[in-house]
Structure 1
């Protein structure tokens, strides 16, 4: 039995009214047990590695990927070690510990934590990368299978891009359904826009630092697979501001009673643009990717810091 759940696909009239009546569908991945879509792919990877004989799960993310790995390991009855950088929040560490993981703090960046995690691997350990593993993409593709099973065929898909794992999985799912021509709008925040910059440059660009508050989009360099997908699938990069992303989170919280991270808010922000690129499409599918580390207080604090107008 899969470790993830089949999430609701909700038609949103609030979005549709701003897009001239064209329906917008929300795939509610924020409702996964670990708090984000990451459980689909990481759960699938952990199950696969366990079947191959792995006796411990090792991950290097202090965000949603680490939480998904910890949850999956606990569900499989395996111990988990999650290495997080010093910049990870106390809340994140507490959430990981609550899932039963051993938490090791190392380094000032994800890169340092990731390298240290890999140095600790034993023969019976399985390493879970946050986004760059074909098993993850295969697992993430299941959300598109669920959309198809519901009878909805999207004319466009909107999602957030960090390292490219979600993008890779969604494109795999679209192809599995024979929806090869369905365009994907890949949204990032300014300061975490390595994908948009890479496509503009024609080569993968590594950001010197992540300056956006949307740290879940904080891959300084996207995966080679995600970059290459733009050569074989219609993918349009879009960059929004931190303020737009946070405003979308606050509005989503007010209207739909679900708390998501600014990384997810980036995709929602594009969906709310009445005269943006989505206006040309009918059925628009938005992946509400979630974010387990988000809190109401933090979103409100960011809103005040960025002078985001009150929702209403």
Structure 2
């Protein structure tokens, strides 16, 4: 039995759309750990345990760390999550609530990640937040469910951080005979390493993350995600923090579900009636979720970003 659940696929009448356009929501925010991350990370943890891992090490102070902690608890495998000093108190609390140990190290994800790798022992498995083919295999199951429901979207809209979700969705499209379906990859200003990399034709590294959408805060996307754009139709779009937070607040009112700004970035395209959506009739939004932003924090951001 999988650690993730099959999530609802909802047709939304609340999201603004042009006449005749359908907006579909894959509700990954309802996963037990609160985000899509559990699909890939749960699959990877199960596979690594099968190979003999006796402990999981994660290097995320956000949704990936929470998913690894949840998976370890369900599988009965100890988990150590190395988080940077920037990890929020709420994220640390949620990781500990799942029974994992936490080690705070470094000012950024890069430092936390390097330290986690240095701690790996012979019976440990490293659970990367976004750069592991096992993650893509697990994330692809959300598109399997979409196909099983009989929906063939004309475009998929998703948010991009390190690129794990993007790689998983494209793998899912391909294995369900939807190779030609384009993906609209959304980031926020200040966390737009993917859009900048595609524009320059090479992977770039941001000097810092300057966005409230910290779950998109990979200063450099994975090589797999960058290479993907040469093999699959991918259109990058960048929105502001205000757009992302505003979409979270509207989505909360419309669908009674709280998501992070990292998720709100992709939803913002619907609320803006963004030109990138204009030519498509059936648009699938991956509501990727995220649990490190509270309702109070969203309102505070919304007020500050006006």
TM-score range, shorter chain: over 0.9
Cα drift, residue 89 of structure 1: 1.0
Q: Secondary structure at the match of 1:219?
A: coil
Over 3 Å counting, the alpha-carbon distance change for 1:58 and 1:274 in structure 2 is same
Q: Which runs of 5+ in 1 are unaligned?
A: 308-312
1:3 aligns with 2:3: yes
Partner of 1:14: 14
Give TM-score scaled by structure 1 length.
0.97
Output the CA distance in 2 between the equivalents of 1:18 and 1:54: 48
Q: What's the offset of the Cα at 1:14? A: 1.6
Q: Secondary structure at the match of 1:280?
A: coil
CA distance in 2, matches of 1:233, 1:118: 32
Residue 75 (structure 2) pairs with residue 53 (structure 1):
no
Given that 2:17 and 2:270 are in contact with CA atoms closer than 8 Å, whether structure 1 keeps it comes out as no
> How much does 1:21 deviate?
2.9
Matching residue of 1:198: 197
Residue deviations 1:153-206, cap 9 Å, x none?
000000000000000000000000111110000000000000000000000010
Q: CA deviation at 1:19?
A: 2.0
Corresponding residue number in structure 1 for 2:272: 273
Distance 1:275 1:89 in 2: 32
Contact 2:17 2:23 in 1 (8 A): no
Aligned partner of residue 25 in structure 2, secondary structure: strand
Alignment coverage as a number of residue pairs? 306
For residue 107 of structure 1, report the CA deviation from its aligned partner.
0.6
Cα displacement (A) at 1:247: 0.2
Q: Structure 2: how far apart are the matches of 1:265 and 1:117? A: 30
What SS does structure 2 have at the residue aligned with 1:54? coil
Provide the C-alpha distance between the structure 2 equivalents of 1:3 and 1:19, rounded to a whole number of angstroms. Answer: 38
Superposition pairs of residues 244-283 of structure 1, within 5 angstroms: 244-283=243-282
Structure 2 gaps of 5+ residues are: none
> Take 1:24 and 1:279, find their aligned partners in 2: how far apart are those partners?
12
TM-score, normalised via structure 2 length: 0.99
Cα RMSD (Å) of the superposition? 0.7
8 Å CA contact retained: 2:140, 2:169? yes
Matches within 5 A, 1:31-70: 31-70=30-69
- CA shift digits 1:253-293 (9 cap, x unpaired): 11111000000000000122325211210110000000011
SS at match of 2:238: strand
Structure-2 separation of matches of 1:37 and 1:86: 24
Q: Is the 8 A contact 2:188 2:244 kept in 1?
A: yes
Q: Secondary structure at the match of 1:20?
A: coil
Paired position in structure 1 for 2:141: 142
Query: Are the equivalent residues in 1 in contact too, given 2:22–2:281 (CA < 8 A)?
Result: yes
SS in structure 2 at match of 1:82: strand
Question: For the residues of structure 2 that align with 1:165 and 1:246, how far apart are their CA atoms?
Answer: 22
Map residues 167-206 of structure 1 onto 2, 5 A cutoff.
Answer: 167-206=166-205
Partners of 1:158 and 1:271 within 8 A in 2? no
Deviation at 1:90, TM superposition (A): 1.0
Moved over 6 A (4+): none
